[in-house]
Structure 1
Amino acid sequence: LEILVTILNENDNSPVFAQTNLTRDVPEDTKVDTAIVAREELSATDADLDTIYYELTTTVQDTDGYFAIRGVNNPEIYLQKALDYDKFNSATLLLYARDRPVTSPEQAHTATATITIVIKQSDTRAPWFLPCSCLHNDTSVCISSPYSGRVNIAEMSTDPLLLEPGPIYAVDPDYTIRERIVYSIVGGNTDGVFSVDADTGNLTMNKIVTSPDSFLLQVMATQVNSVRKYSVATVEIKVISKSDYPPYFEKGVYNGTVFVGLPQRSFVYQAGDPSTPLVITAMDKDFPDV
């Protein structure tokens, strides 16, 4: 008597990941479609020799759609959308491995692996001159105003010039990198009147100016690691006559008269002389003929 026994493989084992926790550092400027975690590192095994079906989700708000797997049977994780360090700098992904399709009515066994993605800021932006204001609340774009200052005609200043809204200063907006910035004047410096300190950005004079004029300097801030990462700011320097005296009023007290019922912008008249408008006069000894 020959008895043939067939042993049926019962689905009684869950898929198993070789590693259930992985961490990857991903540069911010990683190209879209780049593999982040290889298939070999994420493939699960099943003692029942079942086909494994994968699903990837994210647990961090606003990080959905950036990472994906190649296919339902291929767990390689790749970058699906360009990263922005200012939006988020980490993500936690959950990779599920099932021995049945998600839509299958049969009971499925599931394994889970956690993948932590750490975004590393890349040196992607040119220097920002400060102070600056973000455009439309977008922290990736910051617009600065021109600098301005004054020098006296025929007078040599040995100190750094005082500028508005502040001294010339630029930073690397990729703030976790903070590349060193150097400064130079690239335009508007007629006759080489001014110099800028390459390290501090302080603006000083090389020689006196003998005529009332103005200079519109172009100052460039460049990252030392890349001459292609630079910004240019405008610095307007006005040449004025020296002022030794403050202005003063011709009188210490002025008395005037107004009439009830007059419309706005009506004259105020001198007290005691209702036919003569009140005139307030200021004088300046620096300008005796004015």
Structure 2
Amino acid sequence: MAGRENTLLQAHLECVRGDTVVTQLRVFVSVLDVNDNPPVFPFEVKVEKVPEDTKVNTTVIPESELEAQDQDKDDTLFYTLQEVTPGASSFFSLVGVNRPALQLDQPLAFNRLPNMTFHLLVRVCKPLSPEADPQVPSERARPCSRADWGARPLQDTQEEDAVPSHTAQATLVLEVQPADLRPPWFLPCVYSDLYVCVQAQYYGAIPTGHKLPNPLILRPGPIYAVDGDTGINQRIIYSLMRGNEDGIFVIDADSGNLTMTKSVPSPKTFLLLVKGDQEDHARYSVTQVTVEAYNASESLPRFPASLYRGTVALGSALGTVVQDAAEPSLPLRVWAQDPEFPDLNSAITYRITNNSDFRMSGEAVLTAAPLTQLAVFYAEVEATNTVTSGTATTVVEIHVSEQEPTSTGTETTANTGSTAENNKPSISHAEDKRFSVVDMAALGGVLGALLLLALIALVTLIHKHYSSQFKCCSGKALSPAAAGDGDGPAGVRSILTKERRPEGGYKAVWFGEDIGAEADVVVLNTPASDTEGAGDEGSADEGSADEDAAAGPGGGPPDDAPGANSTYI
């Protein structure tokens, strides 16, 4: 209560009788300290910038800046460093449990942990003595040690969650400042650790006798380097150090693109050393580029596929791009490449050789004529390497549909004609749930033939069952057809046949052999003289009776009967 300033108090006591002092007494009061004040850090959050190249075992933050203050006498403070950022405790630690100085334990890595956060905790331990605690043996009457702190962390706060708690907590934030520790790295590279990256070497091929107009295409990628210290990220400057004695190549200082200044007359292998230098010239790296020059006369381009499939809507305007049948939202891409000289891929041109309805625009297929029919067209695409003169061909199958291209559909093939140029047959095409004019016409023909068959069958049945009732009405025209036939029942010969019979006196309806096809109905008529002759072949009496019964007044045919040369069913 009196604090550390007044730990001993003196009181003067006098005993007085009247005006006479009988006795005097001095009283000395010793003020004993108790742990009634918590420790206090001089900050809540402390941010410290630490250079990445700080040496190991260096004290990053001194003890004087981190220690807490306690107003109680003889208190011992114990500190704990707790990591908030995972893995941070492997880089920093406290010098001691009672000394909160922060030191570096291993090299920093900006690329790994650019920021680290810790919680710094402090607790109070009161010295133990038999006077303060009769249970404490005399040998423990000493200031708090690590063992005391572990057994009884707080003498005046027996439980950690007691209120008030004589503990305190502060936050440390360490910001790693990048340092120039790493040279430039040519990509792609494989990291061996945070400081060394095994960088790439580059390979390329060029044809002899040709100067390539574009930058060389290299494997595994273009020449490209980055500053190994990503936090600094210095600009990289490229240059050729060795291997370009003939002056064949030149490298762009900013992009690293390698181009040719002239052609190589004969096969040769170039080993070029490329330097990547930081803009501040503090660090640099070197890599090797191998360029092989050899004869390309036998190098031919190649198409990845032998058949490409595309689709385009009926009635599309000229110059419409043909879409990919597998991915209707994407244009069809027909392309080839030179496996030996990838640099020459940009020199490959394309054209359609046998179909004037379509044309090439780069790697895209466009319509070159109005598309007025549902069909499937085939076009041959030729790829030519303008440098080596090598060629390759492939085939494009283009479906012309009635609606916007879809990924699914049905195809019906028929020989519908030919294109204007190559006289190739086209194939009619109908989308799902839609029918073309040809389909409807074929369906109508089949239905018509079936209807005609049904009518003829009905007439046949009527003729077989009611022929005797119609003889009186049939006239002479019916007699030959109803003449005796050993094959038919009751001597009646059917008028239905699949054979044409040219003999006179016979009337028949003839059908083609394929009933499912379009019906070919032929009615064979005979002149009146033939009919009469045929009638004479039957019974004269029967024929006369029939003629008399059928004759009208005057012996002629009935008024409503057809003429002599008429045929009816």
Fold match by TM threshold 0.5: yes
Instruction: Output the CA distance in 1 between the equivalents of 2:389 and 2:213.
Output: 26
Structure 2 contact 213–259 (Cα < 8 Å) conserved: yes
Between the aligned residues of both structures, percent identity stands at: 40
Partner residue in 2 for 1:192: 247
Please state if 1:103 is matched with 2:157: no
Please state if 1:143 is matched with 2:198: yes
Offset from partner CA, 1:112-163 (integer Å, 9 cap, x none)? 221112223333222221223445xx56554344212222323333432222
Instruction: Output the CA distance in 2 between the equivalents of 1:245 and 1:97.
Output: 77
Task: Report SS of the residue matched to 2:246.
Answer: helix
Please state if 1:15 is matched with 2:39: yes
Instruction: Output the CA distance in 2 between the equivalents of 1:156 and 1:237.
Output: 14
**Using a 3 Å threshold, how does the CA distance of structure 1 residues 209 and 125 change in structure 2: closer, same or farther?**
same
Instruction: Output the CA distance in 1 between the equivalents of 2:299 and 2:68.
Output: 85
Partner residue in 1 for 2:184: 127
Pick 1 or 2: higher relative contact order, CA cutoff 8 A, min separation 6.
Answer: 1
Which of 64, 78, 81 matches 2:106?
81
Please state if 1:3 is matched with 2:65: no
Task: Report SS of the residue matched to 1:75.
Answer: coil
**Using a 3 Å threshold, how does the CA distance of structure 1 residues 134 and 103 change in structure 2: closer, same or farther?**
closer
Structure 1 contact 11–48 (Cα < 8 Å) conserved: yes
Pick which of 105-114 and 16-25 moved more.
105-114
Partner residue in 2 for 1:60: 85
Partner residue in 2 for 1:209: 264
Q: By how many angstroms is 1:285 displaced?
A: 8.7
Q: By how many angstroms is 1:179 displaced?
A: 0.9
Partner residue in 1 for 2:233: 178
**Using a 3 Å threshold, how does the CA distance of structure 1 residues 233 and 7 change in structure 2: closer, same or farther?**
same
Partner residue in 2 for 1:281: none
Structure 1 contact 19–41 (Cα < 8 Å) conserved: no
Which of 116, 119, 123 matches 2:173?
116
Task: Report SS of the residue matched to 2:239.
Answer: strand
Amino acid at match of 1:81: Q
Instruction: Output the CA distance in 2 between the equivalents of 1:151 and 1:59.
Output: 56
Partner residue in 2 for 1:46: 70
**Using a 3 Å threshold, how does the CA distance of structure 1 residues 200 and 120 change in structure 2: closer, same or farther?**
same
Structure 1 contact 127–170 (Cα < 8 Å) conserved: yes
Offset from partner CA, 1:74-107 (integer Å, 9 cap, x none)? 2221212222234323222222223314236324
Q: By how many angstroms is 1:220 displaced?
A: 1.3
Offset from partner CA, 1:35-75 (integer Å, 9 cap, x none)? 22222221211111334333323233222232122233322
State the TM-score, normalized to the length of structure 2.
0.40
Higher Cα Rg: structure 1 or 2? 2
Q: CA RMSD in A?
A: 2.7
Amino acid at match of 1:43: E
Q: By how many angstroms is 1:219 displaced?
A: 0.8
Structure 2 contact 182–196 (Cα < 8 Å) conserved: no
Structure 1 contact 247–285 (Cα < 8 Å) conserved: no
Amino acid at match of 1:47: Q
1:22-41 equivalences under 5 Å are 22-41=46-65
Instruction: Output the CA distance in 2 between the equivalents of 1:174 and 1:104.
Output: 48
Which of 289, 294, 308 matches 1:240?
294
**Using a 3 Å threshold, how does the CA distance of structure 1 residues 156 and 98 change in structure 2: closer, same or farther?**
same
Q: Which consecutive residues of structure 1, in runs of 5 or more, have no partner in the other structure? A: 249-283
Structure 1 contact 196–202 (Cα < 8 Å) conserved: yes
Q: Which consecutive residues of structure 2, in runs of 5 or more, have no partner in the other structure? A: 1-24, 126-143, 158-165, 303-387, 391-569
Q: By how many angstroms is 1:245 displaced?
A: 7.0
Partner residue in 2 for 1:256: none
Q: By how many angstroms is 1:230 displaced?
A: 2.0
Instruction: Output the CA distance in 2 between the equivalents of 1:41 and 1:235.
Output: 55
Task: Report SS of the residue matched to 1:60.
Answer: coil
Pick which of 210-219 and 113-122 moved more.
113-122
Offset from partner CA, 1:228-259 (integer Å, 9 cap, x none)? x22222111111224387389xxxxxxxxxxx
State how many pairs are aligned.
248
Amino acid at match of 2:66: L
Amino acid at match of 1:37: I
Partner residue in 1 for 2:208: 153
Q: By how many angstroms is 1:216 displaced?
A: 0.9
Structure 1 contact 95–114 (Cα < 8 Å) conserved: yes
Instruction: Output the CA distance in 2 between the equivalents of 1:172 and 1:120.
Output: 16
Instruction: Output the CA distance in 1 between the equivalents of 2:112 and 2:103.
Output: 19
Structure 1 contact 86–140 (Cα < 8 Å) conserved: no
Offset from partner CA, 1:243-284 (integer Å, 9 cap, x none)? 387389xxxxxxxxxxxxxxxxxxxxxxxxxxxxxxxxxxx9
State the TM-score, normalized to the length of structure 1.
0.75
Instruction: Output the CA distance in 2 between the equivalents of 1:2 and 1:146.
Output: 95
Amino acid at match of 2:108: L
Task: Report SS of the residue matched to 2:50.
Answer: strand
